[in-house]
Structure 1
Amino acid sequence: MKKLALATTLALSSFFAQADTIAGVYIGGQVWDMEAEGSFGSSEQLQAFELEDDKKSSYWAALEHPIPLLPNLKLRQNELDTMGMADVEDFAFGDRVYNGDTLVDAELDHLDVIMYYELFDNSIFSIDFGLNFKYAEYSVSVSANDPNPIFTEETVDYNGVIPMVYLATEVGILGTDLDVFAEGSWIGFDDHNVYDAMAGLKYSFVDNIIVDLDIRLGYRTMKFDIQDLDNMYVDAQFDGAFAGIEFHF
């Protein structure tokens, strides 16, 4: 019986070691304590709004494999809706002109489709490089602050892909279960400047042949400076600390 148990343990260990070599699956999520500031418009006339600070979430899944030339894949859903108010004067948005207390409701949730290669990867240091195709379904609505805002609401939408350069790295701290990590996406051309960057510490809470569990703490910043995407103009920034977990199978 002991020999059978030992043989079974060795077989399982070999299986999971080979599975991790063949492909690694990562699933994680984080809560982001976000501070927001921004200006919005449907033309070059932007209006600054006092945006609400809020807690937002982000979830991701990634698949890494050893197939040459085929990039690894990471999907990350980002919750990024915000609301705010401003006392405006002759603010033109859509087909209306607003005066007085005015509300903005900006839906900037998006999906990151990240294709990347591991340029270097060992237990001490790793670096990934690729492209982030940020799929956006953005909607910005402006309405007068009255009991029936639906009758004064104007909305500008943008659906499309924002391609960005992607870079990520991790550095292990010798003698500890801690890693320093950083990850970012960026694009800048003409009057557009968009970036999404984070950095922090990762603690390996569970590390065995079946699953790894990491706790992540850090700071994230996101900037949208986009001009005339289907008549949408946004100059907004979101910053704050985050906490998250990630499972590796």
Structure 2
Amino acid sequence: MNKKLLGAALALALPFSAQADIIGATAGAYSWNQGWSGDLRGEETGDDKIDLEDDLGFDDERANSIFVALEHPIPVLPNIRLASTEMEIKETGTLTRSFNYDGKTYTANSQVTSDFDLSHIDATLYYEILDNIVSVDVGLTARMFDGDATISDGNQTGTSDIDFTIPLLYVGARVDLPLTGLYATGEIHGLKVDDDSIIDTKLGIGYEIGIVAFEAGVRSFEIDAEDDDAEFNMTVEGAFLGVVVDI
């Protein structure tokens, strides 16, 4: 996935290099400690609501995310940002109660393996509306999910697809502390339509040395959505560490 993302970024850069000089290119990589909580319900009639922590024993998982952003001097055209986030957890444990999932019954005291994948790719078009001590970007993101939520007891496997693309509003901001190299940064991707919503926020502080910066902070991803009658009400949140290169 990461190789595809970087390849796409290079391909997108070619038209800009043919027409105008790129005045900004930024890339970053993060390690994110993800704590999972919430619940889901399968898409079949009679499926039960399943708690990720109490029923499936979900805990923490460490995963990575990367991004590449390209900015150019053509005022009417938006800048572009591509990002890839790993968000997958796999746990094995013994059930303390029985429940139905994907039309199948999982009984108490049986051992099950749960594998959930909320990994996604973002393609963001944005404009830089402030660029000084305070920088602000505003745009629109297409977030593409291609995963699933699977529960198996060795004899049967239930699955709900998490396979859709959703538009999200994007706002990113940075505030520099002059003459120190320190800055505060934040971004939010979010949208709420009727009872469905995705809110993804990241807040951090950074220290810049030349073209390299080191960042630390917290990220929180919340999804409350229904897809093909499957219901997802989950939160993935935790601290991150990252490095950013700005050329």
TM-score (norm 1): 0.82
Instruction: State the distance in 2 between where 1:157 and 1:22 align.
Output: 39
Q: Hey, which of these two has a bigger chunk of strand by percent?
A: 1
Structure 1's unaligned 5+ residue stretches are 1-19
**For 1:97-116, what aligned pairs fall within 5 Å after superposition?**
97-100=105-108, 101=110, 102-116=112-126
1:53 aligns with 2:53: no
**For 1:79-94, what aligned pairs fall within 5 Å after superposition?**
79-84=86-91, 85=93, 87=95, 89-94=97-102
Instruction: State the distance in 2 between where 1:184 and 1:197 align.
Output: 4
Q: Is contact 1:26-1:61 (8 Å) kept?
A: yes
Instruction: State the distance in 2 between where 1:30 and 1:194 align.
Output: 21
Instruction: State the distance in 1 between where 2:96 and 2:150 align.
Output: 15
What is the deviation of 1:90?
Answer: 4.6
Instruction: State the distance in 1 between where 2:235 and 2:36 align.
Output: 6
1:134 aligned to which of 130, 143, 165: 143
Comparing 97-106 and 54-63, the one that deviates more: 97-106
**Which residue is 1:32 aligned to?**
32
Instruction: State the distance in 2 between where 1:136 and 1:48 align.
Output: 22
What is the deviation of 1:137?
Answer: 0.5
- Residues matched between the structures, number: 218
Q: Is contact 1:52-1:83 (8 Å) kept?
A: no
1:137-173, CA deviations, whole angstroms, 9 ceiling, x for partnerless residues? 12110122xxxx2x31111213221111100101111
Instruction: State the distance in 2 between where 1:234 and 1:88 align.
Output: 21
Q: Secondary structure at the match of 2:163?
A: strand
**Which residue is 2:241 aligned to?**
243
**For 1:1-249, what aligned pairs fall within 5 Å after superposition?**
22-43=22-43, 45-50=48-53, 51-84=58-91, 85=93, 87=95, 89-100=97-108, 101=110, 102-122=112-132, 124-144=133-153, 149=154, 151-205=155-209, 207=210, 212-227=211-226, 229-249=227-247
CA RMSD across the alignment: 1.9
Q: Is contact 1:140-1:156 (8 Å) kept?
A: yes
Q: Is contact 2:36-2:52 (8 Å) kept?
A: no
Instruction: State the distance in 2 between where 1:80 and 1:222 align.
Output: 10
Identity of aligned residues (%): 27
What is the deviation of 1:81?
Answer: 0.4
Q: Give the residue type in structure 1 aligned to 2:60.
A: D
Q: Is contact 2:118-2:162 (8 Å) kept?
A: no
TM-score (norm 2): 0.82
Larger radius of gyration: 1
Q: Give the residue type in structure 1 aligned to 2:214.
A: I
